[in-house]
C-alpha cells in the first residue's frame, strides 16, 4: 500500500496555525510557465470550467511538501502444517517494510484570477516533472489529472466527498501544477494530532468537570463517525465509477473544519488520487508501473480472472479504509504519542494477526487505550464488528463501501 506523509511537518503545521495571516498573492511564480497544459498523457474533457493557462491563476505562499512511502515486504505469518494460518488463507498479507518514495510534492496557496471562478481559493499541488522526479512523477501527475477529469465529467454528478480539480499547467522546467479548490487547510491526521494533544492536556488537569468530559467524548464520537461516513461515501463514489483510491490514509482526507463543535458542518473529502487504478474490465490487463504492485498482490492472493482481480482491488481499498477507521478510533482518543498509524498497523497485522477480539483484550488492559475501546464498544461492539469485517484476511469476505455505510456503527445508530 502507499501512504502519503508530510515531509516538512513543523513548517506545515506552522502555516496551518497561522492560516488566517493574510499574505498578498503574487503571480511571479508563473512567469516561466507555458500557456497550456501538456502532460504526457491524453487529456479527458471535463464538464466544469477547467483552466489550462497559467495566467488564470495567482500563486501565493508555500504551505508545505509531502511525499509517499511504500509499505511492502515479506510474508507476515507462519504457514504449513501445525499452524492456524497459511499465506493462502490470509490472502497474501504482508508484513510492513517501509521505504520512502522518490517523488517530493510541494504545496502552495493560490486563487483563480480569471474566468467564472475568479477569486476562488485553490491549493496547488506541484509535481517535479521528469527532470527532477523521473518518469514516476510524470506518471503520477498524469494519472491524478485524468482521474479527476474522468470523475468530474460523470453523468452522475460530482462527488461531494472528493476534492475538486479546477485546472493545471506545466512549466518550461517540466513541473506540473494541479490546482484544487481549497476546501480545507487541515487533514484527518491534523485533527487526530490536535485531538490527542487535547486528551493529554485534559488528563493533566485533575479538576476537569466529569459532565464536560462526557460531552466532549460524545462530540468526538459524533465527529469521527461523520468523518468516516464521508470517507466511505467518497470511496463508494470512486468504486461506482470503476476507480480505486490505493493511497487512502489520514493525510489523504481533507477536512473543512476540525472543530468538534462544528461537526454538523463537517465535509470530509478524499484527495491524492495519483495512485488511482482504473478497474473497468477492459482496463484490467494494464501492466503499467502504477498498477504492477496491485496485480502482483492480487495474484498472490489467488485472484487470477478479471472478475477476481477487480474484486481484489476493491477489497484492497476497503482494507486501507479499515486501517484508516482503526487510526481514527484510536489516535484521537489517546494521549499524544501513545499511538501512531504504523504502530497501530503492526499491532493489528503482526502482533494479533488481524484477530480483533484478541486486540480488544490487549487494549482493555492498557488504561491509555480505554477511551478507544469504549468508542468501538458502542452498540454492543459494533465498531469492532465492522473493523473486523473490513480487515478480514480473506479479501473475498470484506464488505463493499456501500455495505460499510449501511452498517449500524456507521449510520450513527449506536450513538
> Greater confidence, 47 or 163?
163
C-alpha grid cell, residue 71: 509499505
Same structural domain for residues 165 and 214? no
Instruction: Classify residue 415: in a domain, yes or no.
Output: no
Band (177; pLDDT cuts 50, 70, 90): very high
In angstroms, the CA 191 to CA 237 distance is 24
Average pLDDT rounded to a whole number, residues 227-250: 97
Q: What percent of the chain has pLDDT over 70?
A: 78
Give long-range contacts, CB 8 A cutoff, 24+ apart: 293-296: 293/72, 294/244, 294/246
In angstroms, the CA 67 to CA 245 distance is 16
> Greater confidence, 102 or 189?
189
CATH number for 172: 3.30.200.20
Q: How many domains does one find in the chain?
A: 2
The per-residue pLDDT for 13 is 32
The per-residue pLDDT for 129 is 73
Domain end point (choices 132, 156, 181): 181
Same structural domain for residues 364 and 289? yes
Same structural domain for residues 175 and 197? no
Say yes or no to pLDDT of 99 above 60: no
The per-residue pLDDT for 396 is 97
Q: Please state, rounded to an integer, the average pLDDT across all residues of the chain.
A: 82
Among residues 181, 275, 189, the alpha carbon closest in space to that of 227 is found at: 189
pLDDT tens readout for residues 288-297: 778 988 999 9
Average pLDDT rounded to a whole number, residues 304-332: 97
Say yes or no to pLDDT of 35 above 90: no
In angstroms, the CA 102 to CA 98 distance is 13
In angstroms, the CA 394 to CA 319 distance is 10
Q: Are 387 and 396 in contact (CB under 8 A)?
A: no
Say yes or no to pLDDT of 267 above 60: yes
Band (15; pLDDT cuts 50, 70, 90): very low
Domain end point (choices 137, 166, 181): 181
pLDDT tens readout for residues 111-150: 999 888 899 999 999 998 776 667 888 889 999 999 999 9
Same structural domain for residues 191 and 336? yes
The per-residue pLDDT for 47 is 52
Band (408; pLDDT cuts 50, 70, 90): very high
Instruction: Classify residue 289: in a domain, yes or no.
Output: yes
The per-residue pLDDT for 76 is 39
C-alpha grid cell, residue 278: 482504473
Same structural domain for residues 242 and 326? yes
Lowest-confidence pick of 76-80, 255-259, 297-301, 303-307: 76-80
The per-residue pLDDT for 94 is 42
The per-residue pLDDT for 365 is 94
Instruction: Classify residue 217: in a domain, yes or no.
Output: yes
Antiparallel, parallel or unpaired: β 176-181 and 186-187? unpaired
Cite the beta strand spans of 128-192 per DSSP E.
Answer: 165-170, 176-181, 186-187
Same structural domain for residues 208 and 354? yes
Same structural domain for residues 168 and 200? no
Same structural domain for residues 165 and 204? no
Average pLDDT rounded to a whole number, residues 98-116: 81
> At what angle are helices 188-204 and 210-240 packed, to 10 degrees?
170
> Greater confidence, 208 or 161?
161
Same structural domain for residues 130 and 113? yes
The per-residue pLDDT for 132 is 67
Same structural domain for residues 225 and 116? no
Domain end point (choices 157, 181, 205): 181
Band (3; pLDDT cuts 50, 70, 90): low
Q: Which domain holds residue 114?
A: 54-75+93-181
In angstroms, the CA 412 to CA 415 distance is 6
> Greater confidence, 15 or 37?
37
Same structural domain for residues 202 and 110? no
Q: Are 393 and 400 in contact (CB under 8 A)?
A: no
Say yes or no to pLDDT of 245 above 80: yes
Instruction: Classify residue 41: in a domain, yes or no.
Output: no
Instruction: Classify residue 149: in a domain, yes or no.
Output: yes
Say yes or no to pLDDT of 166 above 50: yes
Q: What percent of the chain has pLDDT over 90?
A: 60
Cite the beta strand spans of 296-368 per DSSP E.
Answer: none
pLDDT tens readout for residues 325-353: 999 999 999 999 999 999 999 999 999 99
Instruction: Classify residue 330: in a domain, yes or no.
Output: yes
In angstroms, the CA 114 to CA 118 distance is 5
The per-residue pLDDT for 286 is 77
> Greater confidence, 36 or 343?
343
> Greater confidence, 73 or 354?
354
CATH number for 206: 1.10.510.10
Say yes or no to pLDDT of 243 above 80: yes
Instruction: Classify residue 105: in a domain, yes or no.
Output: yes
Say yes or no to pLDDT of 8 above 70: no
Instruction: Classify residue 174: in a domain, yes or no.
Output: yes
In angstroms, the CA 240 to CA 313 distance is 13
pLDDT tens readout for residues 218-233: 999 999 999 999 999 9
> Greater confidence, 342 or 66?
342
Cross-strand partners of 271: none
Same structural domain for residues 271 and 157? no
Amino acid at each position: 500500500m502507499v501512504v502519503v506523509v508530510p515531509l516538512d511537518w513543523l513548517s506545515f503545521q506552522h502555516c496551518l496555525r497561522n492560516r488566517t495571516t493574510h499574505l498578498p498573492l503574487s503571480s511571479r511564480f508563473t512567469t516561466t510557465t507555458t500557456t497550456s497544459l501538456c502532460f504526457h498523457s491524453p487529456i479527458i474533457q471535463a464538464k466544469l470550467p477547467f483552466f489550462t493557462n497559467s495566467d488564470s491563476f495567482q500563486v501565493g505562499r508555500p504551505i508545505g511538501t509531502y511525499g509517499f512511502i511504500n509499505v511492502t515486504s515479506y510474508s507476515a505469518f507462519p504457514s504449513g502444517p501445525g499452524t492456524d494460518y497459511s499465506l493462502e488463507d490470509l490472502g497474501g498479507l504482508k508484513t510492513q517494510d517501509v521505504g520512502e518514495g522518490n517523488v517530493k510534492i510541494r504545496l502552495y496557496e493560490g486563487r483563480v484570477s480569471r474566468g467564472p471562478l475568479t477569486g476562488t481559493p485553490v491549493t496547488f499541488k506541484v509535481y517535479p516533472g521528469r527532470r527532477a522526479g523521473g518518469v514516476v512523477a510524470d506518471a503520477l501527475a498524469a494519472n491524478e489529472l485524468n482521474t479527476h477529469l474522468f470523475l468530474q465529467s460523470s453523468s452522475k454528478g460530482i462527488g461531494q466527498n472528493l476534492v475538486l480539480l479546477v485546472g493545471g499547467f506545466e512549466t518550461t522546467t517540466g513541473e506540473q501544477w494541479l490546482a484544487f479548490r481549497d476546501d480545507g487547510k487541515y487533514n484527518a491526521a491534523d485533527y487526530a494530532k490536535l485531538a490527542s494533544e487535547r486528551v493529554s492536556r485534559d488528563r493533566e488537569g485533575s479538576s476537569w468537570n466529569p459532565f464536560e468530559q462526557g460531552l466532549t467524548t460524545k462530540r468526538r464520537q459524533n465527529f469521527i463517525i461523520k468523518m468516516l461516513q464521508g470517507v466511505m461515501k467518497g470511496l463508494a463514489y470512486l468504486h461506482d465509477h470503476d476507480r480505486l483510491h490505493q493511497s487512502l490514509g489520514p493525510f489523504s482526507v481533507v477536512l473543512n473544519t476540525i472543530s468538534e463543535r462544528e461537526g454538523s458542518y463537517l465535509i470530509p473529502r478524499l484527495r491524492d488520487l495519483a495512485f488511482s487504478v482504473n478497474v473497468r474490465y477492459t482496463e484490467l490487463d494494464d501492466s503499467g508501473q502504477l498498477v504492477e504492485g496491485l496485480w502482483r498482490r492480487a495474484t498472490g492472493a489467488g485472484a487470477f480472472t478479471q472478475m477476481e482481480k477487480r474484486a481484489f482491488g476493491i477489497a484492497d481499498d476497503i482494507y486501507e479504509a479499515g486501517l484508516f477507521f482503526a487510526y481514527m478510533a484510536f489516535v484521537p482518543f489517546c494521549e499524544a504519542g501513545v499511538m501512531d498509524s504504523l504502530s497501530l498497523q503492526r499491532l493489528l497485522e503482526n502482533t494479533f494477526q488481524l484477530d480483533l477480539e484478541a486486540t480488544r483484550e490487549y487494549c482493555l488492559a492498557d488504561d491509555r487505550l480505554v477511551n478507544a475501546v469504549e468508542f468501538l464498544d458502542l452498540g454492543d461492539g459494533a465498531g469492532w464488528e465492522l473493523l473486523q469485517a473490513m480487515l478480514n484476511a480473506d479479501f473475498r469476505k470484506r464488505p463493499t463501501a456501500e455495505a460499510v455505510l449501511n452498517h449500524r456503527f456507521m449510520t450513527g445508530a449506536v450513538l
